[in-house]
Structure 1
Amino acid sequence: MNHPASQDTACLSFPYVDLLYDYGQFLRNADQAIGNLPAHTAEKHIGIVGAGLTGLVAAYELLRAGARRVTLFEAEESHIGGRLLTQCFDEEQPQFIAEMGAMRFPPSEVGLFHYLNKFGIQTTEAFPDPGVVDTELHYRGEAHHWAAMQPPPALFSTVHQGWNAFLREGAVLDDGTSLAPPLLLTELLKQHNYCEVQPEWQRYLDCFGDSSFYSAMVRIFTSKNPPGGKVWRKPEDFHLFGSLGIGSGGFQSVYRASFTEILRLVVNALEVNQRLVPNGISSLAELIAETRFNGMQLRDMICRTRIESINKGPDGQILLAGSNGETYACDRVITTTTTRALQVNLKLTQNQAFVNRDVARAINETHMVGSSKLFILTRDKFWLKHGLAQNIQTDTLVKGVYCLDYAPQDPDSWGVVLISYTWEDDSHKMVSMTDKVQRCLRLVDELAMSAPEFARHLIPLNGDYQRYVLEYDWLTDKHALGAFKLNFPGDDIYSERLFYQFRTALDPRQDTGLYLAGCGASFTGGWAEGSIQTALNAACSVISSLGGDLIDGNPLDGLVPQYRYC
């Protein structure tokens, strides 16, 4: 069933654990605008580097606040939306799509759902994640059936029960430290009970801020009293858990990531009730861009050039050098690119004119994940016709397989299969196969070893591999240089430095007129909500820095650091 992403289906309010601030409430209070610019500064030139979701939302809110001269600089020649990247298989049948970037949207993304609702964009009830639909888990050459909404196969029962016991009951470490149940923290956040959340999350940061996901799991589940009551075997149970994951697929490839980075996804309810946008998430970018201000569409404010450097002008303006040979003088600038692009493409950290040394280090050292996807358009929804699994998770080259139904009202319509969704080392293997046809054939051949009946249906419509196979490698995207931020152990301090950089607008001695935004500058890299949050932060900073007024409860005034990350 499809329905609008409305207040009936999305959380109206959900403050994230690192922020303890409610963007949902702020946006509801900002029905008219987040603030207003006085007439004498409304003509100041505001430059926004990047016309992805962050840049578009920041521009939209600044224009609503009275800004009259906003320019978005976009390196892509035709696409807008950044890593909201929906590709269409067939122009005559535009409903059959491949989401190359963001594709799963949990309602705890209150800022995102605010804009989905505002622009009338629909979502489906659920994304076909493992266990949500009929699933097969392929482990060490054997296929294990996992019925929809049921416990996983018996082989995985120890790790499944242990992980869920940890979520519900917390854990007691061997040194006596008691850790609160992550799901309790989620409930406390829903209640805005910050006084109880803050010390419990700080305890997690103190215990595991320097731990990888894998090492923290070993510490918790090989303790004397592990959650679920059963000590996990090394390495067998940890291999099983790596294949099972925490709700949206196997997490083996990110075992080296920070444990707190993974746990905040759980506490922030980002791994449950994930939804799909049938018309493609790029539709949000397009609809924002069609909004009219001062007699012109927002899309007409986009300048198609790649910004190659940012410098201070002699009169205090910020000079953006474009790849077209032009230099653009701006009074305030918001950057929305990835941290890698800030360092490599924009050269932002070459001097301290705009960011201090701590922020520069955070930009340079923040880890970004590689991610690859390959989709195929099939002549029918074979998984429904033949009673096959709609999701397959493997420990082979293929990794995650997702069957997507973009025409649920038509049982005879085409099908879309995401054959391989991979991260990190698994993605790097995909990058080595540069020909998409050969990559597709190699993946199907690999899948046929454990799921031959499923694999034999993986033939593109009309046998046309060039037209009906689509793939993308974010690591080789010359503008992004990676898919999304995912901290290594000990690096949460980088997220704090990047996220709170916007507060320099409060101090004239620190205010350089440039503000960082984008999901890479948030605590939730890879999630659209991080883009929304930082867009709003940066827009508020611009308004304040230019002498404007903000509505009460805005993030510039109400959002302050809450934790010790080092």
Structure 2
Amino acid sequence: MNDVSVFGPDFPFAYDDWITHPMGLGYLPATSHGARVAIIGSGAAGVIAGYELMKLGALPILFESGQFGGRLRSQPFEGAEGVIAELGGMRFPVSSTGFYHYIDKLGIESAPFPNPLTPAAGSTVIDLLGQTHYAVTLDDLPPLYREVAEAYDKALEDGANFSALQRAIRNRDRAGIKEIWDPIVRAWDERTFYDFVASSDAFQALSFRHREAFGQVGFGTGGWDSDFPNSMLEILRVNVTECDSHQRYMVGGVAQMPRRLWHHAPERLVHWPAGTTLSRLNEGGTRAGAIRIRRRADGGFDVTDQWRRTEHFDAVLVTCQSHMLSTVIDTEERLFSHDLWMALDRTRYMQSAKTFVMVDRAFWKDKNPVTGRDTMSMTLTDRMTRGTYLFDNGPDKPSVICLSYSWMTDALKVLPLSAERRVELALSSLANIYPDVDIRSHILGDPITVSWEMDPNFLGAFKGALPGHYRYNHRMFGHFMQDDLPPHERGIFMAGDGVSWTPAWVEGAVQTSLNAVAGIIRHLGGGFFPENPSPSDAYPQWGPVKLPD
């Protein structure tokens, strides 16, 4: 049986097969070689699109208003080579086969992420309602936690035909996926994650305390109560494609991926000479942030950067978060339909905060001489820290602790606080769990912290679709199919995990980036090989189910 991948379920298309086929993604006519494509944003979506368009003979020009790499942001600790804090994406499920195509191409090393109750974590401590439990596996926890895990598995099976749906994804059975998934979309678009849990027979048979523990401890990656108000469809996609399990981190930081791709010379190029890279085509650096997009009389586009430099382009790809188009970038209104503007503006982003410290060594692996347990463990708690993760960089480098990873209200609690104050609060919370552990004595240098809602280029970490948002997501995801659009709306495309069906996961950025590449190929007069059908070829038959307006 095949491994699970992010093959649908909304649009079951094999992006990994498309990008690895020896024929290539498609072709551009000679008249479009050197066609200028503005790409706004240098995150995974922007850099991947630029790389693939360059291979086809187009001239991608990237604009960036903040840090290169977007939310693939690995910030180094001062004075420590290769010791980083992953401020954005930090754990990458192996089901993200499109993403790992580029990781493998670039030779980036990965290792198992230390999620709760995994061998990579070594041990896990769950601290809930003042009670602390030490565990290596689920069997080490009190019966309540196994009851919660079994109840959620049963709820998924009863409410979403989970095993059959996942089997269809494994087998890449497109008809089988659609037969199961499309009715789920109709049934659950307007209902929340909490509704799914609380109304299931499995949880109805249990107490409120079980649902509370599920929200705090969750499944796979930790507590999920911040997602309780979200559409259940968001969570089902994560579960069935195993985005919440079998995760890895990139040794030395995931920011290597966009940076290395920026400097990578493809093995096969059209139009450009051998050795050409995105960096060379962009004169060694990105343009400044885009502040204005306008349609030209000849059908092309004018894009202006923050230094008032205006350039002409044949197509535009926007990969920044959707609300930047109405708050930061002066975007000509008629470039998008009113329905699409509604979708872009209604996209709701979740808050997220992380606080990291560098420590002298992986002291948490020291064994308590009395109990034989680890001195400290990966920790899930209802205290302010919520999730604490431990990263051992080996004996020759300092280690890193993510003292706190929190979302939504928990993230807002620390929003106005300095990095030092956030560390003090985290240490205070952890002292209640580990009263005999002096974390402070191991800290080196200055802490690193982030609140994504404070970054003017993001104003939030990642999309969290609310009930009723499926239609909005459908409009954004399918926008690369432009044959039926009026001419004044063609030629501008969008990509990024916020456009995808899997927000917060880099595979969504990869897939929507490749959709945009397909759309741009068609816009520039190109086509695809019958031996390697594109998303544009598959979409009419296998695209997401349309709900009535």
TM-score (normalizing by structure 1): 0.88
1:283 CA drift (Å): 0.7
Match of 2:83 among 96, 107, 115: 96
Provide the C-alpha distance between the structure 2 equivalents of 1:430 and 1:389, rounded to a whole number of angstroms. Answer: 24
Does the CA-based 8 Å contact 2:110-2:250 persist in structure 1? yes
Provide the C-alpha distance between the structure 2 equivalents of 1:375 and 1:453, rounded to a whole number of angstroms. Answer: 21
Match of 1:15 among 7, 23, 33: 7
Change (3 A) 1:196 1:33: closer
Q: Does 1:371 align with 2:358?
A: no
Does the CA-based 8 Å contact 2:349-2:461 persist in structure 1? yes
| Within-5 A mapping of 1:80-229 | 80-91=68-79, 93-124=80-111, 126-132=112-118, 133=121, 134-148=123-137, 150=139, 152-167=141-156, 170-171=157-158, 179-220=159-200, 223=201, 226=202
Q: Aligned residues, how many?
A: 524
The one-letter code of the counterpart of 1:161 is: E
Q: Secondary structure at the match of 1:495?
A: helix
The one-letter code of the counterpart of 1:129 is: N
Q: Secondary structure at the match of 2:449?
A: strand
Q: Secondary structure at the match of 2:93?
A: coil
Match of 1:385 among 366, 369, 381: 366
Q: Secondary structure at the match of 2:220?
A: coil
The one-letter code of the counterpart of 2:28 is: L
Match of 1:278 among 251, 256, 259: 251
Match of 2:226 among 253, 256, 261: 253
Q: Secondary structure at the match of 2:439?
A: coil
1:212 CA drift (Å): 1.2
Does the CA-based 8 Å contact 2:4-2:242 persist in structure 1? no
Provide the C-alpha distance between the structure 1 equivalents of 2:307 and 2:286, rounded to a whole number of angstroms. Answer: 10
1:32 CA drift (Å): 5.5
Q: Secondary structure at the match of 1:449?
A: helix
Match of 1:70 among 60, 76, 84: 60
Does the CA-based 8 Å contact 2:5-2:96 persist in structure 1? no
Does the CA-based 8 Å contact 2:139-2:146 persist in structure 1? no
Change (3 A) 1:365 1:218: same
Is the deviation greater in 273-282 or in 497-506? 497-506
- RMSD between aligned residues: 2.1
Provide the C-alpha distance between the structure 2 equivalents of 1:393 and 1:48, rounded to a whole number of angstroms. Answer: 39
Q: Secondary structure at the match of 1:420?
A: strand
Change (3 A) 1:395 1:213: same
1:13 CA drift (Å): 5.9
Q: Secondary structure at the match of 1:397?
A: coil
Match of 1:457 among 425, 439, 449: 439
Q: Secondary structure at the match of 2:393?
A: coil
Provide the C-alpha distance between the structure 1 equivalents of 2:306 and 2:457, rounded to a whole number of angstroms. Answer: 13
Provide the C-alpha distance between the structure 2 equivalents of 1:211 and 1:341, rounded to a whole number of angstroms. Answer: 28
Q: Deviations over 1:175-195 (max 9, x none)?
A: xxxx34324312211101222
Provide the C-alpha distance between the structure 2 equivalents of 1:382 and 1:436, rounded to a whole number of angstroms. Answer: 23
Does the CA-based 8 Å contact 1:505-1:544 persist in structure 2? no
Q: Does 1:325 align with 2:325?
A: no
1:359 CA drift (Å): 1.2
Of all paired residues, the percent bearing the same amino acid is 27
Q: Deviations over 1:512-557 (max 9, x none)?
A: 2100111111101111111111111111111111111223311111
Provide the C-alpha distance between the structure 1 equivalents of 2:441 and 2:40, rounded to a whole number of angstroms. Answer: 41
Match of 2:50 among 48, 54, 59: 59
Q: Secondary structure at the match of 1:16?
A: coil
Q: Deviations over 1:306-363 (max 9, x none)?
A: 1112111223221112111111221100000011222211243x61x22111111110
Does the CA-based 8 Å contact 2:28-2:527 persist in structure 1? yes
The one-letter code of the counterpart of 1:217 is: V
Provide the C-alpha distance between the structure 1 equivalents of 2:193 and 2:210, rounded to a whole number of angstroms. Answer: 14
Provide the C-alpha distance between the structure 2 equivalents of 1:14 and 1:254, rounded to a whole number of angstroms. Answer: 20
1:266 is matched with which residue?
239
1:206 CA drift (Å): 2.5
Q: Does 1:532 align with 2:500?
A: no
What 5-or-longer segments of structure 1 have no aligned partner?
A: 1-9, 172-178
1:51 CA drift (Å): 1.2
Provide the C-alpha distance between the structure 1 equivalents of 2:42 and 2:3, rounded to a whole number of angstroms. Answer: 27
Provide the C-alpha distance between the structure 2 equivalents of 1:105 and 1:297, rounded to a whole number of angstroms. Answer: 26
Q: Deviations over 1:495-526 (max 9, x none)?
A: 11111100015767475210011111110111
Provide the C-alpha distance between the structure 1 equivalents of 2:149 and 2:409, rounded to a whole number of angstroms. Answer: 25
Q: Deviations over 1:219-264 (max 9, x none)?
A: 11xx3xx37xx71223x22111101112101011221111111111
TM-score (normalizing by structure 2): 0.91
